[in-house]
Each structure stands twice: as C-alpha cells, then as structure tokens.
Structure 1
Amino acid sequence: MSSASEVVNPSFDWSVEARFALYYAPSRDSGWWQAGCEWLGGDVESGVSCTPPQPASLIRKVSELTTAPRRYGWHGTLVAPFRLADGVTPRGVLDDARGWALQQESFSLPVEAATLGDFVALRPVAPEGEAAMRELASGALRTLGGLRATPSAADQARRLAAPLTPRQRALLIEWGYPYVFDEFRFHMTLSSSLDVADERAALVAWWHARIAELGPLVVDSAALFVEPAPGEPFVLWQRLPFQAGRVGQS
C-alpha cells in the first residue's frame, strides 16, 4: 500500500469510469480494522483475504450473509462514490481531501450493532455521536462535491425512480446522493439484505459482544476508496490522517 506521501499507486489500473469515495475506515493497526476485515473476508488496503468468524448461532456461513458489503470493503460512508468531472484528476481529489482532513480533529465514537431495515450495521450509540459524524460528512461533501461529474440523464432518471422523499430528491439532484446533510445517518454495514429476522438478531447479538471487547471507534482519519471500473471491488487508495487533536467521547 502506498504511503500518505505518495500520490497514486501505479499498480491500480483505473478506467475513465472509476469512482472515488471518501469513507471512514478504522486505523490499520486498530482492532476494529482487523475485526471488520475478518468479518467481510478481506482487507481492501492490502488485498489479503481473511477467514470470517462463524457464530454458532448462524446456520449459514458469514460469507453468504455479507456479499453486498464485501465489495465495498470495511467502511462507513462520508462521501458516496462519484465519478470525476471533466478536468478533475485523482491528484486533485487527493489534494482536496487531504487538505480537508488536516482541518479535522480526532474523536471517540461509541457504537452499537442494530438492524437498519433488513440489514445489520454499526451505528452511533448517542445523538451526539450521530451529530459529530453528520458534521464530518457534511464538511467533506462540501469540499469534494464540486469534483463530481454530472450524472447522465439516464442515470439521474434511474436514481429518481427510487422511493424518495421530496427532500431526498432535491439532495440527489444537487449533490448526487439523497442521504446527505440532514438526511445523513452514519453506519458501517455488516450484512447484505437479510429476509430472516433470526439471522439479523444473531448478527446483532454476536456484534454486541464483540463491541464490548473492541470499545469505541476512534475517528482519527478518513480514507479515499476507489472502484477501478464499474462493478469491481473497491480498494483503499489513500489514508488521510486528521490533525493531532483531543480524542474524547463524542
């Protein structure tokens, strides 16, 4: 993996259709990074595969329950994936994202496992943590939003066909994604959509015990992820450390 001082890892062969995203990813040397990568079966920074744990309460293998989040890697979205506008380069994205990151302070984020709709995810325990992540994501979007390519008419129509509120439709048109600013809810996805309630409950219970061991997330950096070509797995391209700051409860 390239270091923070390098610009582009030349081993990445990105197409003109590559998408970039700004995510929260736990620090590489943290227990949270190891736990999440093991759960999803792979480290998208190193490219190393992992063997997921297998809770005794599950009939199906974890790998069968995590197909959707596995392609994106272990993360929580701050700025959703976007293609670059004409004239915007990966270097430009990196420079702007790094400048934003250096203005952020680190903080601690207590989390819990919960069912969100028909999938399981980590989410902030307290409203204060939710607000801190919303503020972080909103600032990042304002920084990077101008680098996003305008969606095609067909893509825009497809996205607008989804069941959205008027507010979400307006955000989608202006910012390319409906769940931003006041509609943003930070989460780290732990499963695909699961129809069986018992499976969702078993995952929540297993992660409840795991969270007790791992403690709060430390939000001390962000990371640029790249989808090299449509449909390919995302890779973690660059980590973006925040400035040195107090780490306290959010």
Structure 2
Amino acid sequence: MRYAIYFTPAKDDAMTRKASRWLGRDAFSCNHYQDHRDYAEITADPRRYGFHATLKAPFELSDNTSEGELLAAFEAFCAKQQVFDIPKLVIGSLGPFFALVPEGTHQPLQEFAAEVVDYFEPLRAPLSEHDIARRKPQNLTERQRQNLSRWGYPHVMEDFRFHMTLTGPVGEDRRDEMADVLSTEFSDFTDRPLTISGLSLFIEPARGDDFKIHTWLPLAAPGPTDMKE
C-alpha cells in the first residue's frame, strides 16, 4: 500500500468533473469514461494516478506508523491550513507533458507545498533501492538527488513546480494540436484563479493499481476576515 498527499478540487467541483472525463477516470468514484477515447493513449499515464497536483509524492508508511495515525495527521494538518488562491492558471508543459500550471511562481503556494512535504515526512518509510533507481538519479541535478535522498522525491522545495497533469508524453508532431485541444477543453478554468481549498489522501492498494481518493478534506483554518475582533 502506498499513500500520497495531493491537491485536487472537491468531488463535485466542475474542474474535477471536467478533468475526470478528459482523463477517462474519476479518482473519487473510480468511474471510467469514454468521452475522449481518441486521446486514451495520451492520457493513460495520468489516468492511473487520477487528476491531481503532487504535494507529497507516493510513499509507504514507516514501520511504526499505522494508517489511522496517518489519517489523524492528515486531519490535523488540513484543520490548521487556510484556503488561498493561485492568481492565474494556464495550460502549460513540462517537457513533453501538458498540465494545468500557475502562470508564474506564487510564493504562498511554494511555502504551502514545502510545509506538506515536511509535515508528513516522519510518517514515510525510506525508499527502496528499486524506487531510488526508478527515479534515474543519474539524470537529476545535484539538488534533486539530495531531495530524493532527504525527502523521497526530487521535485520538492526549490525544485517544486505545481502542475495538474493532463497528458502523458506528446510527440512534437502533435504538440500544437494538443495545446489547442486542451485550451478549448479547459477554457472555463484557465486565465483565472484556482482556489486551493482542500487536500486529498490518495491510496495505491498495490503497486501498479490505479490510485484512488481515500479522504478529501477542506482546509479549515480561519482566514484574517473570519477572525473575531
């Protein structure tokens, strides 16, 4: 069993519904869809993980941690976090992959992501040699290798980039087409803010299984305008 802490909008959010139908699977309900079967091969990789943005990458629990303790920590963390907005979301790319990404670096988001990584780190089991090799450390920067060793994932802290993956790798000959398709499909959600309103605890029952949402919780700490005088 592996767990992950991801951002995803709530179950009935319009973005969740749109992205689930685009990818072909809903990580909340585990329902499958055929709306975009012409792109099923391109969306196969993100379909397995479900629509999300990685904060704490998939991990196994340490020997002295139970699922109940993880869930309690997850509840406690969400209860003390405030809702905030990413100012502007756009269709972007990370190498050959397309994703929904912030228009630029947003420091509150970077700090929030770093806090997630740090908070849940004591509950994570060390990576196996196989998992380390799977990350191809020879292709990482020195800082990313240090992240992999320290945090179990290379793309954290200064190397974190928020992204909600929409495709697997897309060949050069299809990139313009895919950019146009995604711009149309997700036009209701781009060029406007994205509210970070909650977090999901995802599970992978066995290696290679589809990830599914175990628990979604709202960020529940009161903001400045909610505080009483």
Is TM (by shorter chain) over 0.5? yes
1:122 corresponds to which of 91, 100, 103: 100
User: Which residue in the other structure is 1:66 paired with?
Assistant: 43
CA gap 1:246/1:208 in 2 versus in 1, 3 angstroms: farther
Q: CA contact under 8 A between 1:32 and 1:217: conserved in structure 2?
A: no
User: Which residue in the other structure is 1:164 paired with?
Assistant: 140
Q: Which amino acid aligns with 1:239?
A: W
Instruction: State the TM-score, normalizing by the size of structure 2.
Output: 0.89
CA gap 1:39/1:160 in 2 versus in 1, 3 angstroms: closer
Q: Is the counterpart of residue 144 in structure 1 residue 127 in structure 2?
A: no
Summarize deviations over 1:65-101 as a string: whole Å, max 9, x none.
1011000001010100001110211111111111111
User: Please, which runs of 5 or more residues in structure 2 have no aligned partner?
Assistant: 225-229
Q: Which amino acid aligns with 2:174?
A: E
Instruction: State the TM-score, normalizing by the size of structure 1.
Output: 0.82
1:206 corresponds to which of 169, 181, 202: 181
Q: CA contact under 8 A between 2:80 and 2:221: conserved in structure 1?
A: no
User: Please, which runs of 5 or more residues in structure 1 have no aligned partner?
Assistant: 1-17, 55-60
User: Which residue in the other structure is 1:96 paired with?
Assistant: 73
Which runs of structure 2 are paired with 1:25-64 in the superposition (5 Å)? 25-53=8-36, 61-64=38-41
Equivalents in 2 of 1:102, 1:182: separation in Å? Answer: 26
Identity of aligned residues (%): 34
Equivalents in 2 of 1:157, 1:115: separation in Å? Answer: 25
2:83 corresponds to which of 106, 118, 121: 106
SS at match of 1:216: strand
Q: Is the counterpart of residue 189 in structure 1 residue 165 in structure 2?
A: yes
Q: CA contact under 8 A between 1:26 and 1:219: conserved in structure 2?
A: yes
Summarize deviations over 1:188-237 as a string: whole Å, max 9, x none.
11111122x24222222232234432353221000000000011000110
